Amino acid sequence: MVPVNELEHPAREAIVLEDVLFALSDPVRLDLVRQLRESSLTAASCTTLDPSVPKSTKSHMFKVLREAGVIRNVPEGRNRRLSLRRDDLDARFPGLLDAVL
C-alpha cells in the first residue's frame, strides 16, 4: 500500500497537453485554477466550491487537476495545500496559462 499522505504528481516532462486541456475544460476546475493564480490555498479554504459539495467530490476535482500536472497537492499539517504548478506549465507550454487564466 502506497502511503496516502504523499500523492503522486507527474514530473514536469511527463505533463501531457491533452490532459491539461481536459482538466481545464471544466468550469469549476478552471475557476479553482484561477483562484490559485494569486496564491496557494488550503483545500479547506477553497471557496470556489460551495460547502454543499461533499468533500469526496472536491477531492476528486483536485485529483483530476493534480494528475494532469496542473496543481500540486501537498500535506500541510491536517490540511492540504493546493498550488498552481505555474513554473512547470510555463516551461512546458509557454503562454498557455496566460491565455487561459
Partner DNA sequence: ACCATAGTTCGATAATACTTGAACAATTGG
Partner DNA sequence: CCAATTGTTCAAGTATTATCGAACTATGGT
Among candidate residues 43, 83, 76, 74, the one with its CA nearest the CA of residue 60: 43
Can you read off the three cell numbers belonging to residue 78? 491536517
Binding of residue 26 to its own copies (CB under 8 A): yes
Binding of residue 67 to its own copies (CB under 8 A): no
Question: CA quadruple 86, 89, 95, 96: dihedral positive or negative?
Answer: negative
Q: Which of 7, 43, 46, 96 binds its own copies (CB under 8 A)?
A: 96
What is the distance between the alpha carbons of residues 82 and 99, in angstroms, rounded to a whole number?
21
Map residues 11-50 to x or -, x wherever contact with DNA holds by CB under 7 A.
-----------x---x-x-------------xxx------
Binding of residue 61 to DNA (CB under 7 A): yes
Residue 54 interacting partner from its own copies, DNA, none (CB closer than 5 to 8 Å by kind): DNA
Provide the 3-class DSSP secondary structure of residue 29: helix
Binding of residue 75 to DNA (CB under 7 A): yes
DSSP conformation class of 77: T
Q: Number of residues in contact with its own copies, rule: CB under 8 A?
A: 17
Binding of residue 86 to DNA (CB under 7 A): no
